[in-house]
Each structure stands twice: as structure tokens, then as C-alpha cells.
Structure 1
Amino acid sequence: MKLLVVSTLVVGLLSPATAADPVHVEGTLPSGATYVMDVPAGWNRTVLLYSHGYTPDGAPNPARNAPDEEVRTGLLDRGYALIGSSYAETGWVLERALPDQVATLDAFVDRFGSPRETIAWGTSLGGMVTTGLVERYDRFDGALAMCGLQQGGVANWNNTLDPVFAIRTLLAPGSTAPLVDLPDQATALAAAAELTAALDAGQSTALGRARTALAAALHNIPAWTEAQLPEPAPGDHETAQRNQYLALRGTVYVGLSWRQEAETWAGGNMSWNTGVDYTRMLARSSIRAEVEALYARAGASLSADLATLAAAPRISADRHAVAYLVRNLSFTGRPGAPLLTIHTTGDALVPVQVQRAYADAVHEAGRERWLRQAFVHRGGHCTFTTGEMLAALRALRERVRDGRWPDTGPRALNEAAERLDPGGTHAYLAYRPAPYPRPFDLVDPPPRN
């Protein structure tokens, strides 16, 4: 194993707990993944294994051990060791990410010795990796999944299919743009361009805007989708729809370009909408009232469009590709250590209802005592303040240390966030997500490692 040491300290078997200077290590795993480790002077014997988010094929893929530099500095100043890998490949890389992260932990232990506490944490796809680690490996004392895909892989790609299917059916009638079985990126991007153009054209009419809201409702895209935008007032359905339209442009890209990458890993199409009742899905959607109001304003028939969706030719999945997604990665609801999740309420990329999907799975498995969930009132994906992340980590570490959960209510978390990040606008709130529209839970857990 090749190691690159970047430090003023001569690093050998010297214990970092007695080191006068911090230690920074970079290296490469046998899989080809790179890793980075930072151990502060006076290490508190807790190591945080960070899992980063989705990296599209062809994008830079450095190893990362924190969400950003401010959080990284704050944690090192508090004595935490920080480690993380790049994962060996990019795209829908769950097959490689979990073992690469565990190998990074092994490399850390080989070099610095066993920590007193090992905590997994991650953002976005990395939140999904984190949940997989704590469900499948007996190596962790606790885990923090932030803005993670807690619904699992099968449910994620199923529900990503729904808005794209509605856009093609209602806003681009007659289109033959493929939604699944995408052979290459050129095909995926051409289909995305066609459906995006239909979305754009739909903004010019009241009916087009109502249909856009219906597509957004099938994915539970919220009214407030970006932190830098003001939150729409209650009942301001036009502003909400405009935000959802802009978010759907990204959903189309992810639902086709990133899907093509995932299909390559899975060996085929892993999604279906055979047997799906879109009328029932709308009835459970968090933005159903908005859809109904916009259809009424347009003088159009919502029931007629739902009938059109019901009659449209459906899509079947390849069972081998579904099985791949079950393995890489769907959840059992059985975390093997305390798991805290945090999520913004205005997340358009990974809607907050994913947390309801995981909570329901945990409930079915009888593991509620292992899970706590907290929510931040803000638009955007992973738009947490530094204080909000540090407060969540502190609460999790208290659970690991004391054997019982501290107060993880919004007041306690906001007060902790303010102490850790004075002057920030911290926004934990009491919240219960609506049901996830397309749940899929793995019934039989894989063996733990």
C-alpha cells in the first residue's frame, strides 16, 4: 500500500495522541481508490469516516474527509480524526463505495491504532453509503446520515422515473424519448434535452404549469427548493410551481443521464411503473393542494390527466437489475448502531419524504430505539449550516458515549448549533414528512460483516 505523507512531522509509529503537530496522510487503496486522513495533535480517539456524495462519470473525484473546509477545520480543532476515500469509481458506485470506506478505516487502524469510537457520516449519496455501512458492518459505534437517500436504491430510481414519465406523457405527447434502457450518454442527454424543452414550453400556459406541478407532486418536490430564494408564502402556488419547474429541469437530467450510469452498473433497467396508481400517489403527495388549485385555475380536468397517465404504456424492470439495486443498495431498517439522520424540508433532489421511508422500515423491523431523525427548515439539497452539522454530530457522540439519546428536538439542536457556530441562522424544526410515494424495503437482511 503506497502512502504519501504530507506533514512537518516524521511519521512512523508515533502515536498521534502525543504528537506535537497534526498528521496529514494521503494514499491509494488496492482498489485504486485514494484516501485522505487528518489526525490532529491531541487526538480525542474518535475517528469520523466521511462518505461523499454522487460524482458523475468524468468529473474530478478526489478523496474527501469532510463536507467542506469550515466543518473540517471545526472538527479538527475539537480533536477528531477525519478520514475518507474517493471510492474507486464514479457514478452509481455503491458496489465499490462500501468496501473502499471500510478499507480506508482498516488503513487508519493499521497506521494509528484502534480508536475509542468510530463514527460513520456522509452527505447525499454518502448518507446512503453511511446507512449501508451501519446496517452491514459491525465496525461502527454510531452514524450520521445527512441529506441521504434513505429510501434505498430501488425506491430512488422508481420514484425518479415517475416525474419523467408524467412529463413525457402530458407535456410531450407523442414523444418517443426513451426513459429507461439508455445505451449511452448521448441517448440519455438527447432524451433529457427533448423533455426539458417540453417543460420549458409548458411554462407559457396555465395548463402546462398545472401539469408541471403534477409531475413535481409525483416526486414530492417542495415549494421552496433553493436556500438563496425566499420561501413562497402559503397559497402562492405560482411561485411554488416556478420553483418546482426549475427543479424538474434538474430532475430530468438526473433521471436520464445519471440513470444511464446506474443502468450500466446494474446491467439493465432497474425501475418499473407497472401497477402504479398515480391517482393514489397524488392523494398522498405533500403538494396535492397546489396541483388541484393550479388545475382549477387553468379550467382543466385533473382527473382526465390522471386517466391519461393511467392509460399510458407502462415500463417493466429487468429482475436482475432490480436484484443488483437491492444489493447496491437497499435497506433493511436494521441499523447495527445508533443512527441519526438530518434533512432539509426543501430538498428537491432527494425529497424529505425519503426519511419517512426509512423510519417506516425501522418501525417494521422493531429498531426504533436505534434511530433519531431531525429536520431543518430550508430550501435546497444538503444546505446545512456548519453549526447544524456540528450539533448533530455532538448529539450522536453523546448517544455513543452515554448509551442513551440526548434531546434531539429542534430547540436543543438549534441551541447547540448556535454555541458551535455563533451568528449562523440555524433552523431545526419539528416536522413529520408525508409518506414516501414509492417505498421498497428489503425483507431479508444480508449477513453482517
Structure 2
Amino acid sequence: MHTTTTRVRRRWLGATVGAAVTASVLLGGASTAAAATDVSVKGVLHQGERGQVVYEAIKPASWNGTLVLDLDFNNWNPAQRQWFLSHGYAIGGNQRTQNETAYELHDYVDNLVETRSLLMKAVSAADGEPSEPTRTIAFGASRGSFVSRMAVEYRPDVFDAAVAFAGGGAGVIGSWLGKTDSVWALKQLVDPSSRLAISGLPDSPTGEYGATYDQDVALGQLVGTASATPQGMARLVLAAAFEQATGWPSGPEPAATDYETQGKAIAGSFAFGNPQFVLKEIEIMGGGPVTWNHDVDYADLLQRSGALDRVQWWYDHAGLDLQADLATLAGAPRFAASPEAVSTVEGIGTFSGRTGGAPVFSVKTIGDSADSVSLDTAYQQTMRSAGNENLLRSAFIERPGHSSQSLVEKLAAFQTVVDRLDTGEWPNTSAAALNTRAQQIAATLPASAGDSRFIEYSPAPALRTWDFTNWGSYPYPAATAASPGELTPSTRDSVTVAAGSAAPGSDVEVDLGEQRAGQWVSVWLYSPARQLGGWLWVGADGAVTVSLPADATPAKHRLAVLDHEGTVLGWSDLKVTPPGHR
């Protein structure tokens, strides 16, 4: 087992159980046949490390071969445990951490896989022969939803399906782009002198993070200031639009045009929906800031947010000029991420949509203040981009709150996925069909299992997303061209163009040398200076490929490459030939 206590990223990949794992194995019954024996394992993984978690797993006597694993298994209530066990399902999982390992999604999946291995060793010991599940299903809500989606991508050899509740579909970066947009806008419009850092958050003196973290206290104070006046409220409602915050985070649902009630509810849930300690944990994990806004048009975000009418109502009510505040945001100083940190978190906290054929059922309440219902569309987009949209189904629940699905709704979603695995085809996943399924399940459970409120719903598309289609593309702030005089003889031919000539609109490969691999550069055609694409990531071979403008003038040009600080790395002559010329 790989163990380290001071690091930015941790990988625990081995299946060996050593001193960091303690276990108790409880075998019930006299028979040695696993089919007739209850088996339970529990203990601690990574004992004494920052990623220390408990594990527990249970196989019922009459096991149907399916194992269900949840990051937050330690929070399963007795009724949920009993339903699964009584229906023949083995169950298990772990707990979440609350430090810099909090969003190490791969590590969480590794913990689930290790928990599975420990249970199967115990089952095999009881059975007298090797035993493996016929199916393993990832199941989880909130952070567990991130983990269940990652499980089928990271370990498709283990997980056959995922049931994901209460968010996670946008991935770690996508989820926080909107949140930092919202907090940044609130600070700029209400109190630019607030000690809120927005990005690159300060360390906690204790190294532990939670609601008492100084940045969360500062955010609470800023929300309090904004909530005290109609003007502050208007600006808070505007800021919340940038993360597509729900107008129904709690209580009875307000009327569609009751913008006053909606705004007050948004103010009451704003700090809960933007926990700064979580962002800090993610920054520690990545090794630096992972969000940015230097390329954001906030007027455009508002138009696409689905909240324009609510924002305009509050600005009219407060007697403020909405366009003036949007202009203030447009002119305010922006913040940038660390490309290295973004790259790190891309690898462990964003999605590719490649599940190895495993189906995913995503279920969201429409009044979720911690993970906007619109973020579910980000996952739909990811699955479409991967060509796997048929492996995904999404459902929505007419209820406020984060992770507020009832037990019967969870079980209805789970049974839907089981049917999909049994038949190879999705059953009816309409709201009516899901409610019918849930009602049938509810008839066998006490009233405490809750009701079912699935509805047909189409959220506004997510504003800012980040998935595998964006990997390696994080830009620095807008590049600036070097002056022609900076293209000196000393840097001539320090970069080379594979072809000495090219036609307008054609691709050109530029070789910078392998020593530049992993760097961000901008490429320019002179003169006048025209940037060829945005920021470009130099591949392992030390080269980048650019497209010449279709209207490039046939003539002798110079092609120059600059680093992220604007320093000329090199330039070379390039002849642009007339179209069709050889």
C-alpha cells in the first residue's frame, strides 16, 4: 500500500491490506455455503493517514449476486439497509473525508473496490471457494454522486452501472466555475473590500476545513450585508443567476412569478450552496486555483441563465440600473487558475462519458441549492460528446433541498437500473412510470420511506462546463502579440515549420522542441500580427498544429511562438501560397 502524509495528490492503488487496515469478519450460521451465510466486514482503510475512512460491507444469506457500493454507506439508515438486504443485495461502502482528500474521486473509487475485495475474501472463506459478485453497482448522492459516476469511468472492469443522486454531473471544475462566478460577482457589487479571496484561498491554521473556515465566515458576512437592503438583495439575486441558483431551495414552492419570495429564499441558501472550505480542499488537491473568469461575459451568462426576469424584477424593485452593474462586472479585475492545477483536477475530478458500456441513471431534485439542476445538462452533454447518450437517463423530482430524495424514489431509480441490466434496454423512465414504480415499492414500506414526486422537467442548459472535451485547453488570460521588432535574429528558426509553405486555411505543424512539452504558447502570423487559435498546449512531441486563416494573403510571412508571459520563443519564415498552388 502506498502511504504518504504530506502531498498534493494521493493515489492508493494497491489491493494489499496491511497495518492501515483493521477488519472484523462476522460469519453467521453453521453452513460453509456462502448462499446460506450472512457475511459482514468492517474496519478502517488508510489508518493514520489524511485519507482515513471506515469501510463496511454486508452479504445477506440469500444473495442474488449483486453488490451495491456507496461512498456514504456509513449514513445509510436501517430502513434502506434492510430493504436491500431483504431483497438479496449485498451492500457496502465507506465515508467521505473532510480535508484535502475530500474530492479525490479516484481514491474514493479505489476505497470502494478495496471494500469489495475485503467482502469477497470473507465470502470466499465462508464458501470454501473463490467468490465474486455477478454485478457491482455504484450508488451515491451529493459527493457520492460524483463518485458513482467516476466509478464506471475509472473502473469499468469492476462497476456495471451507476445510480447518481443530487448532482455531480458537471464534475469538480464545472461545478465550481459557476460558484466562483457567483461569489466573485457578489463581492464586486456589494463589497469589493471584503476579505473573500474567491480563488487561491488562504490555508486553515489547523489544516481542517468546515463551516467555521474563515472564508466561509467572510461569505456569510457578505451575504448578510447584501440581504440588509433592497439594493444588496438585487445584486445577490444577480450574482446567484451566474450559478443558476434555484428559487425554491426550501419550504413551499413559490409561484413562478413570485420573485420576491424566490429572492429571499436564494439569499437564505446562498452561503450553503457555495461552501468555501470545499473549494479550498479542491485547490489543495489540485495544487493551486482551479477556477477562473478572465474570459467570461457576464451579460451573456445572465441572458442564458433562465433567471433574467427574476433579476430584472429585483433591480426594478431596488431602483438600480442592471446594465450599469453588468458594466461594473465587465470592467472589474478578473482572476485566473493555475493551468497545472486545472490539469491535475481534470484527471481526477472531471468526466469523459466513457463508461465501458455501463448505464448511468442521474436523478435530481429541481430545488437543489448546492448543485443547480441545470448542471445535470452538463453530464448529458458529456455523454453525448462521448457517443454514449443512450447509456444515460435523467429524472427530476419536484422537491426543494439538496440530496432530498425520498427512500422510495431512490429505490425506484435503483430498480430501474437493475431492469436495464437485466434486459439490456432501458425500461420506461417517464415521470409517470417512475412514480408508479415508487408507489409499488412504498406499499411494502412504512410511511417514513416518503412519497414520490417525479416530474417531467427540462432545465436551462448549464452555463459553464468542463469535461474531457476541454482537457488540456485551459487558457491563460488573453495573449498579446509581440511587436515586429521583437522578432530578432537571435530567435530566428528557434522554432521550425514542418512545411516551408502552406495555402490559406491549411494546417501547419510548428516544432518547438521536446523541452517545451507541457507548456502553453500562443502562435502568431505576421504582419499584421494575427493569433492562430487560442492558447495551445505543447504535446509530448514538442509540437503544436495551427490553421492558417482562410483569408491569409499569399506572400512571405513570419510565424512566431510566444510563451504565456509574452516572451518570443522563436520565429520562422513561412510562405503563404495561393490556393491550389503547388
Q: TM-score, normalised by structure 1?
A: 0.90
Q: Which runs of 5+ in 1 are unaligned?
A: 53-63
> Over residues 87-130 of structure 1, what are the superposed CA-to-partner deviations in whole Å (9 max), with x where a residue is unaligned?
67742332421211122222233332111221111111111111
Which residue, 153, 156, 179 being the options, matches 1:135? 153
CA RMSD of aligned residues (A): 2.2
Which residue, 461, 486, 502 being the options, matches 1:435? 461
Of stretches 79-88 and 401-410 in structure 1, the one that deviates more from structure 2 is 79-88
Q: Which amino acid aligns with 1:93?
A: E
SS in 2 for 1:374: strand
Change (3 A) 1:291 1:445: closer
SS in 2 for 1:443: helix
Q: Give the distance between the partners of 1:366 and 1:445, measured in 2 at CA.
A: 17
Tell me which residue corresponds to 2:115. Answer: 104
Q: Give the distance between the partners of 1:92 and 1:141, measured in 2 at CA.
A: 22
Larger helix percent? 1
Q: Which amino acid aligns with 1:122?
A: G
Structure 1 residue 85, shift from structure 2 partner: 2.2
**C-alpha contact 1:50 1:66 (8 A) present in aligned 2:** no
Q: Which amino acid aligns with 2:288?
A: G
Tell me which residue corresponds to 1:250. Answer: 272
Structure 1 residue 165, shift from structure 2 partner: 0.2
Q: Which amino acid aligns with 1:232?
A: P
Tell me which residue corresponds to 1:38. Answer: 58
Q: Which amino acid aligns with 1:310?
A: A
Q: Does 1:379 align with 2:400?
A: yes
Tell me which residue corresponds to 1:421. Answer: 442
Q: Give the distance between the partners of 2:369 and 2:150, measured in 1 at CA.
A: 23
**C-alpha contact 1:44 1:79 (8 A) present in aligned 2:** yes
Tell me which residue corresponds to 1:199. Answer: 223
Tell me which residue corresponds to 1:16. Answer: 34
SS in 2 for 1:73: helix
Larger strand percent? 2
Which residue, 16, 31, 42 being the options, matches 1:26? 42
Q: Which amino acid aligns with 2:194?
A: S
Tell me which residue corresponds to 2:141. Answer: 123
Tell me which residue corresponds to 1:55. Answer: none
Structure whose alpha-carbon radius of gyration is higher? 2
Q: Give the distance between the partners of 2:262 and 2:135, measured in 1 at CA.
A: 44
Q: Give the distance between the partners of 2:74 and 2:87, measured in 1 at CA.
A: 15
Q: Give the distance between the partners of 2:389 and 2:106, measured in 1 at CA.
A: 27
Q: How does 1:247-326 map to 2 (within 5 A)?
A: 247-252=269-274, 254=275, 256-326=276-346
Q: Give the distance between the partners of 1:425 and 1:393, measured in 2 at CA.
A: 16
**C-alpha contact 1:88 1:100 (8 A) present in aligned 2:** no
**C-alpha contact 2:442 2:451 (8 A) present in aligned 1:** no
Tell me which residue corresponds to 1:163. Answer: 182
Q: How does 1:66-105 map to 2 (within 5 A)?
A: 67-86=76-95, 90=99, 91-105=102-116
Q: Does 1:215 align with 2:235?
A: no
Tell me which residue corresponds to 1:402. Answer: 423
Q: Give the distance between the partners of 1:283 and 1:409, measured in 2 at CA.
A: 30
Q: State the identity as a percent.
A: 33
Q: Does 1:357 align with 2:378?
A: yes
Q: Does 1:174 align with 2:198?
A: no
Q: Give the distance between the partners of 2:261 and 2:204, measured in 1 at CA.
A: 33
> Over residues 237-294 of structure 1, what are the superposed CA-to-partner deviations in whole Å (9 max), with x where a residue is unaligned?
1111111001112234x1x222122211111111101111111111111322111111
**C-alpha contact 1:222 1:287 (8 A) present in aligned 2:** no
Q: Give the distance between the partners of 2:75 and 2:95, measured in 1 at CA.
A: 12
Of stretches 106-115 and 88-97 in structure 1, the one that deviates more from structure 2 is 88-97
Give the structure, 1 or 2, with the largest relative contact order (CA under 8 Å, sep 6 or more).
1
Q: How does 1:41-56 map to 2 (within 5 A)?
A: 41-52=61-72
Change (3 A) 1:66 1:40: farther
Q: Which runs of 5+ in 2 are unaligned?
A: 1-16, 124-130, 473-582
Structure 1 residue 34, shift from structure 2 partner: 2.8
Q: Which amino acid aligns with 2:378?
A: A
> Over residues 206-248 of structure 1, what are the superposed CA-to-partner deviations in whole Å (9 max), with x where a residue is unaligned?
211111111111111111102xx11111211111111100111
Q: TM-score, normalised by structure 2?
A: 0.70
Q: Which amino acid aligns with 1:356?
A: T
**C-alpha contact 2:69 2:136 (8 A) present in aligned 1:** yes
Q: Give the distance between the partners of 1:385 and 1:80, measured in 2 at CA.
A: 20
Q: Give the distance between the partners of 1:5 and 1:419, measured in 2 at CA.
A: 35
Structure 1 residue 162, shift from structure 2 partner: 0.9
Change (3 A) 1:230 1:73: same
